[in-house]
Amino acid sequence: MRDRMSRRNAKHFERQGGTAFPPQPADKNCRKQIFIWKSNKADAPGETASLPLFFKADRATTAQAGRESGLFPPAPDSVRRILVCQLRQIGDVLLAAPAVELLARRYAQAEIHVFTEKKCLPVLENNPYIHAFQVLDRDALPTPLHEYLFYLKTASNAYDIVADFQQLPRCRAMTALSRAPVRLSFTPPWYLRPVYNYSSSPGPAYAAAYKAAVLAPLGIVPQGERPRIYLTDNERSAASELLLSLGLRRKRFISVAACHRYAPRRWPAHHYAALLDMLAEALPDLGFFLTYGPGEEDYARGLRSLCRHRERTALPAGGMSLRLAAACMEQALLQIGNCSAPRHIAVALDVPSLTIIGAGGLGWTFPSPEHTHIHAGLFMSMPCAFCRKNSCSNRLICLEKLTPDLVFPAVMKHLREHCPHRE
């Protein structure tokens, strides 16, 4: 019943665009759960909601859980290895980085391993808080038996703590086979409770803080940590050479991530093209850098062909690695795009961002003035706002009605207020 109430309240919160949560008491029948709630008040439609940056744990409940288990919470010097499970997607894996940092601070003597998919590995490379990766490469694990043996090999590392941020089948299998004394996750449905012995039910918050709330039973509370990408000098040099070859100078271009797998989460290409033309005419000294992922080059080329000022819109041919794209974005004046991984990469690199949200929620925006969004459904007062669907039966009306002339003033305002490198 408590799980259903939590989900129902979360849906109500999003429908109301950020109405405050009522306080929810812990379920007395659930002995090892930590319920954490934080009220929130949203700003006006089209502006960034003031989502809480961190949670305040119910310390009384945490202490009670600790008394019920003699091994909990484990002393910092008694923890040797920790496994963090976050398989996908790229942005979600990056948003798990603050939780890794928090674990490293609390358990400084422990090795921290991350279980993730091969495609997501680049955003965590060179992270000083991560000692090893347990990489799921599906091409190298063609059968269930191969996967099972991989899980057993990973579990042989004898982890003391496992934190699962997804509860996907593979994450559940890894957690169960680890037999770790402490297995943390969000409050699971009843049939998964044997897998996790400590859980949290966080309230609405920025996505990275929401993930980190899983660590609340350990007494760990996030304090506004943001995700980070650790680039090398060689990667930065390669990015500078690429940008120079495309005619772009440091802090004299806007990075644009206009692609997305699902149409309800993708502002139309013709709107992006019109917006870039308006910006090109208003800011004659700026260029534009179109980023795209595997399989998206044709879409990006089609968008560029719609631009009147395409000579100032750079599109790297043949694609580039995720880390090279991040190194290029680091030199951008501003990041504009849909709700996808590039917006989180911008936060990790301290690049101001403006995101156009379609069918997504508000919790993905880092709560800081230099990172904002325009939510199409809220801005246009659509009844289907926050639908979270990957297909639309309403002809994408919220995205189509959010025309470039409505977005252009917000971009210009953001440039003036939060892009100090512009002279």
Question: Sheet harboring 33-35: ordered strands across?
Answer: 33-35, 198-201, 182-186, 161-164, 81-85, 111-117, 132-136
For the chain, percent of residues with pLDDT exceeding 70? 81
Which residues of the chain form CATH 3.40.50.2000? 2-45+53-218, 233-418
* pLDDT tens-digit series, residues 241-289: 999 999 999 999 999 999 998 888 899 999 999 999 999 999 999 999 9
Residue 366: helix, strand or coil by DSSP? coil
> What is the pTM for the complete model shown?
0.82
Mean pLDDT over 375-400 rounds to 76
Are the CB atoms for 155 and 179 separated by under 8 Å? Answer: yes
What confidence category does residue 381 fall into, taking pLDDT thresholds of 50, 70 and 90? confident
Residue that wins the pLDDT comparison between 162 and 419: 162
Q: What pLDDT is stored for residue 47 in this prediction?
A: 41
Q: How far is CA 119 from the centre of its chain?
A: 15
Query: What is the predicted pLDDT for the residue at 151?
Result: 94
Residue with more model confidence, 116 or 35: 116
Packed helices 297-306 and 269-282: angle between N→C axes, nearest 10 degrees: 50
Crossing angle, helix 169-178 and helix 144-155, to 10 degrees?
40
- pLDDT of 334 > 70? The answer is yes
Q: Could you tell me which residue, 92 or 67, shows the higher pLDDT?
A: 92
pLDDT at position 358 is: 87
pLDDT of residue 282: 94
Mean pLDDT over the full length of the chain: 83
Supply the pLDDT for residue 421.
58
pLDDT of residue 25: 37
Please tell me which residue, 373 or 3, carries the higher pLDDT value: 373
Percent of the chain with pLDDT strictly greater than 90: 66
Q: Residue 194 has what DSSP assignment?
A: T
CATH 3.40.50.1220 fits 233-418, yes or no: no
For residue 166, pLDDT over 80 is answered with yes
Per-residue pLDDT tens digits for 184-194: 999 999 999 99
Instruction: Name the DSSP class of 370.
Output: T
Look at 23-27, 90-94, 342-346 and tell me which has the smallest mean pLDDT: 23-27
> Residue 302's pLDDT is what?
95
Q: Which fold has domain 2-45+53-218?
A: Rossmann fold (3.40.50)
Please give the pLDDT value at position 240: 96
Mean pLDDT of 148-177: 95
- Cβ atoms of 185 and 201 within 8 Å: the answer is no
Assess contact for 131 and 112: CB atoms under 8 A. Answer: yes
Q: What is the pLDDT of residues 18-75, one digit of tens each?
A: 333 333 333 333 334 433 333 333 333 334 333 344 333 333 334 334 434 445 788 9
| Contact (CB, 8 A) for 96 and 121 | no
Q: Reply yes or no on whether the pLDDT at 406 is more than 60.
A: yes
Lowest mean pLDDT among 347-351, 357-361, 409-413: 357-361
